[in-house]
Chains A and B, each alone.
Chain A
């Protein structure tokens, strides 16, 4: 897949947009320009008034066989992320992304300090020792986020009614290239289905 980042468009189908009852379920289908389901896309809904960063949230990105596992990650702002390092070799995880710049040495069998991502944004993680190791970590100001499965479907349950901005990211989009569309969830709206198209029109 070779998407044109500069021209990446996010199209949100609004066919089924209706006023939602409180706490509705949302199903989002992410499709490519050719209507193929897109796996591992991250879909998140940011409320009109963003909640305060969560405290005590924890997340873990392991290093297995010189790969970040998982590769695609999404956390709410304020989450402390650990890098346990399952390899028996050293790693030096870093990020030059504006959301979080850090460098941390990971020793084999030794737990390192968790890194708290307190700023929303896209963080690209790399290993200073192993150039090929790449991991994407999307830090979002919302607890409502989901990853598409094999069918390109992301599931949201019990989404409180209100206005949201629905955003979709997929590797290797930059922050700017994310699609954004308004989403209103009525109270008692039930289940909502939404289709998002990414890629060139």
Chain B
């Protein structure tokens, strides 16, 4: 079976087949109906012809009878018959016969004897051949019959001759001849043949048929009895409609009426031909119509199919438009909605994929693409390109303390500020968290730094949230293409490294340098080494004395972490503390420091050395709720009273999460631990927080102290800070005391404790103890000479070490 895959072909084939069947059926039915109608019609026509024939023949007979009657009543004729001799009689008969076109006229007397016969004038009187005709004429006045006379078919009419009573009859003979046949044919529309059958052989006297047809008719006719019943006669010329009309039954004389069926059916054939033509015409029109309908259905479907293919390829550009009112139009409309919907959603997906929903800035992926593009462009144009990576200082604090809503607000605000600067910048993206990246189409490093500073400046303006100003700074790392890498990943990573450097150095922005990378690498490897250090006892605590300025005695010291790396030697805290904080390893480190410090404290106490030891805590430690319990356990383990341990915390450490931190600090204070505020004056120095903290000690940052003797402003700050500390009920410690002037000045200003290289650098426990023993047990004023004996004189990198130490806080 043939299968049509195409809907169009299927529809066309179906419709054409259907229409063909309908047309064929219609044609067959019509043909059949019109055929039988035509047959009935020609039958009817024939019957009418037959009736007309009979009527005409009768009328003809009546006409002839009348004519004969008129003739017979002619007086002179009657006189001639009644009184004349045979010759006169014959001539009169001939004369009268000629008047009415009779073929022959006979005179029959009352005895039935033929007295005169115009056909055979010389024959003697003899009995008339058709006495029955005379008998009928006797009773009526006129009688007629058709019969054979002398081998010829005649219509015989007997009329009485009255003188004035009947004296005899004239018999007028009209032959059934061609003229009569033609007359009848003209009136009936049928061919007329006068014929006589004798012993199965037909003789035709006269016929309207052509001679050849007459001949076939003569031989084709069945014998008389059968012919009477024949309706259709098969002749070599074709089928004939036929009737045999008996004229003289006894003599087998009849008229054959006939008509070729073909000619009778001619009008039907014309009709059928018209039907065929019309059928084919309407079939053709129907096929054309169905093809058009099929096309009108399938063409829009093909259009829709094409549109679907386009959409599948991801091409949403072309509108799907099939302007129709019907279902296909509705389908097209639906697909058009679908197309725009899909396009919109894809746009949204793309947006989600490449845009940060919070700031509406490009996201990391988009930035990577832009960067790749920028790199390609810069490479082909032989130009440089700068990328910046920045994050927000103190963002975590804002986010954690004020909530994510505020954090989001800050990010949005930063995003919009950066967007405002887009004129200078190729692309601004949010990489995630508080990290942003910028692409700067600028070759000049100085100019790039200029852009970075403008950004810093723009972010220095406080962000207002709920009427409250939020101060968010930023650190920016810069990497240049191609100087700092020719791949996007490398560039981003290097800018990231530079950003950490900038953050660490608080310089605002930093351009990537090769050695940053290595130090960063070191950081990475440090984690493992740091673990190793903790586990293999590479860490040490050094102690720096805190000298009581009032009594010039040492009652306390600060424990400072030192790492004696087996290969690198002494690693400064700045090189690993930030890293430890970053990785969370600071927790382990702080615990180690606390344990070691408390252990040392316990050891000293057992020796009778009653000192207070200060330990620096990281901001992270303050978020550890278990810290108080941990410390309490350590103290208990080493049988050290809480008051012997002082915890130094920085403001910034506290402010990362003040609520948490404050709770932990209060708990620590409850235990009896001393709390000290470290590096006071460098951070926010929020007085409200200062008030809240349960601290008993305030350490002025060394940046104020180290040069206090030579700077009046510094002296004012230090002086007022001391004043303030005292007013708040805290002892004030000055660290970074490096000369006698400062020492003297601080004492003069009422500072309670001093710490610094002027007195002693941080020392290992044994050296510290020795230093103490050199100083102690007497509490005498400190003399410079005693300092010179110090085993550890200040070294050139001491300052750096001091700076680094700050970061351990």
- A contacts, CB < 8 Å to B: 5-6, 94, 96, 101, 124-128, 131-134, 172, 174
Contacts and interface: CB of A to CB of B under 8 A. Distances in A.
A124 B163 CA distance: 7
A124 B165 CA distance: 8
B163 A126 contact: yes
A96 B79 contact: yes
B164 A131 contact: yes
B110 A133 contact: no
B199 interface: no
B83 interface: yes
Contacts of A6: 110-111
Nearest to A172: B165
10 contacts: A6-B110, A101-B83, A124-B164, A124-B165, A126-B162, A126-B163, A126-B165, A131-B164, A134-B165, A172-B165
Contacts of B790: none
B164 A134 contact: yes
B73 interface: yes
A44 to B, nearest CB: 21
B75 interface: yes
Contacts of A134: 164-165
Contacts of B75: 94, 128
Contacts, number: 31
A178 to B, nearest CB: 15
A101 B82 CA distance: 10
Nearest to A98: B83
Contact of A131 (B110, B111, B162): B162
Interface in B65-83: 73, 75, 78-79, 82-83
Contacts of A101: 83
A47 B791 CA distance: 233
Contacts of B110: 5-6, 174
Contact of B164 (A5, A133, A174): A133
A94 B165 CA distance: 12
Interface string B41-82: 000000000000000000000000000000001010011001
Given A5-B110, A125-B164, A174-B110, 18 more contacts: A6-B110, A94-B75, A94-B79, A96-B78, A96-B79, A96-B163, A101-B83, A124-B163, A124-B164, A126-B162, A126-B163, A126-B165, A127-B164, A131-B73, A133-B164, A134-B164, A134-B165, A172-B165
Contacts of A125: 164
A128 B163 CA distance: 9
B71 to A, nearest CB: 14
A5 B309 CA distance: 122
A125 B163 CA distance: 8
A6 B165 CA distance: 16
B567 to A, nearest CB: 180
Contacts of A174: 110
Interface string B289-312: 000000000000000000000000
Interface bracket on B: 10 to 19
Contacts of B111: 6
A195 B163 CA distance: 32
B168 to A, nearest CB: 12
Nearest to A96: B82
Contacts of A131: 73, 162, 164
Interface string B123-167: 000000000000000000000000000000000000000111101
Nearest to B82: A96
A7 to B, nearest CB: 12
A125 B162 CA distance: 11
Interface in B22-40: none
A194 B436 CA distance: 179
Contacts of A132: 164
A174 B82 CA distance: 14
Nearest to A174: B110
A134 B82 CA distance: 16
Contacts of A133: 164
B83 A96 contact: yes
A72 to B, nearest CB: 13
B125 to A, nearest CB: 16
A127 B165 CA distance: 11
A133 B163 CA distance: 10
A5 to B, nearest CB: 7
Contacts of A124: 163-165
A174 B83 CA distance: 16
Nearest to B80: A96
A145 B520 CA distance: 193
Contacts of B82: 96
Contacts of B83: 96, 101
A31 to B, nearest CB: 24
A76 B75 CA distance: 29
A125 B164 CA distance: 7
Contacts of A5: 110
A6 B167 CA distance: 13
B732 to A, nearest CB: 188
A128 B164 CA distance: 9
A171 to B, nearest CB: 9
Nearest to B81: A96
A199 B162 CA distance: 23
A134 B162 CA distance: 10
A94 B73 CA distance: 14
B86 to A, nearest CB: 15
Contacts of A127: 164
Nearest to B166: A172
A128 B78 CA distance: 10
Nearest to A134: B164
A172 B111 CA distance: 15
Contacts of A128: 75
The 5 closest A-B pairs by CB, nearest first: A126-B164, A96-B82, A96-B163, A134-B164, A96-B83
A5 B110 CA distance: 9
Contacts of B165: 124, 126, 134, 172
Interface in B156-197: 162-165, 167
Nearest to A129: B75
B803 to A, nearest CB: 180
Nearest to B138: A2
A96 B162 CA distance: 10
Contacts of B79: 94, 96
Nearest to A128: B75
B112 to A, nearest CB: 9
Interface string B107-129: 00011000000000000000000
Contacts of A172: 165
Contacts of B163: 96, 124, 126
A125 B167 CA distance: 13
Nearest to A124: B165
Contacts of A94: 75, 79
A66 B226 CA distance: 57
A172 B110 CA distance: 12
A94 B132 CA distance: 32
A94 B82 CA distance: 12
A121 to B, nearest CB: 14
B79 to A, nearest CB: 6
B167 to A, nearest CB: 8
B363 to A, nearest CB: 142
B169 to A, nearest CB: 15
Contacts of B73: 131
A174 to B, nearest CB: 8
B710 to A, nearest CB: 192
A127 B162 CA distance: 11
B213 to A, nearest CB: 49
A101 B163 CA distance: 11
Nearest to B164: A126
Nearest to B75: A128
A81 B178 CA distance: 56
Nearest to A130: B164
A126 B167 CA distance: 13
A132 B165 CA distance: 9
